Amino acid sequence: MQPATQASPQIASPAVALEGQIKVNKVSKSYGVEDFTRTVVRNCSFTIEPGKLTVMIGPSGCGKTTLIRLLAGFERPNAGSITIDGKPIVGPGVDRMVVFQETALFPWMTTYDNIMYGPRARGENTAEARNFAELLLEKVGLGAFKKKYPSQLSGGMQRRAELARSMINKPKVMILDEPFRGLDAMTKR
C-alpha cells in the first residue's frame, strides 16, 4: 500500500501555518496473543509533507484504518515510530483531528453546536470562533441548516458538518476515514 500525494486546496482561516509533517518509520502493528497474533501493518514507512493531500488506497482489511488509529494516537505500534513535526505521537492530540467513517455528530446538538463543540470544550467560545463557525457553515453549504439536528440532515450534510467540526479546531493534520462517504458527485468536487 503506497500513499498517493498531490497538492491540496487551502481553506482560508486565521493563523493557519503549514505545519504537520508526519513520518512513519518501520511501523508494525499486530493484534492478538501468543499463537493467535495477526500482523495488520508490517514494517511500514512513509512521510506525509505539510500542505499535501495524501490518500491511502487499498482493499478492505489491508490496514488503512489501523494506520489511521496509529496516526491519531488511539493505538501504539508494536514496533517503529510515528512523529509529527519531529515529536513522537504517543496519544491523541489537538494537532490531529479524525473524521471517522461512522457518523460521530452529537444527536442532541444542533449543527452549529456540533461545529462549536471543540472551541467550547477548550473554553474558547470567542467571537472569532463563532465567526469562523459561521464561515465554515457557509463553506460546506450548511448555513441555512445551522439550527437543525443531525437527524434532520441527510447523510451527506452530516458528513459536511463533521468536516466543519474538525476544521474549526485548525488542526495541523486532518485524518479522514472514507471522507466522501455519503457525498454526491458535485459535493465531492
Task: List, run by run, the mean pLDDT of 10-residue segments along the chain (189 residues).
Answer: 45 50 94 86 92 86 90 94 93 86 90 95 92 96 96 91 92 81 63
CA gap 173, 96 in Å, rounded: 5
Domain assignment of residue 37, given as a range: 19-88
Residue 13: predicted pLDDT:
41
**Closest residue by Cα to residue 173 from 98, 123, 105:** 98
Statement: the pTM of the whole predicted model exceeds 0.85:
no
Residue 176: predicted pLDDT:
84
Residue 2: predicted pLDDT:
46
Residues 154 and 171 in one domain: yes
Using a 10 angstrom Cβ sphere, with 0-12 exposed, 13-18 middle and 19 or more buried, the burial of residue 96 is buried
Q: If DSSP codes are grouped into helix, strand and coil, which group holds residue 123?
A: coil
Residues 130 and 84 in one domain: no
**Residue 3 is assigned to a structural domain of this protein:** no
In this structure, what C-alpha cell is assigned to residue 91? 496519544
Residues 103 and 182 in one domain: yes
Residues 135 and 167 in one domain: yes
Residue 12: predicted pLDDT:
41
Total domains, the chain:
2
Task: List residues bridging with 48 in a β-sheet.
Answer: 22
Residue 97: predicted pLDDT:
87
Number of H helices, E strands in the chain: 6, 8
Question: Which residue, 37, 55, 88, sits at the end of a domain?
Answer: 88
CATH number at residue 153: 3.40.50.300
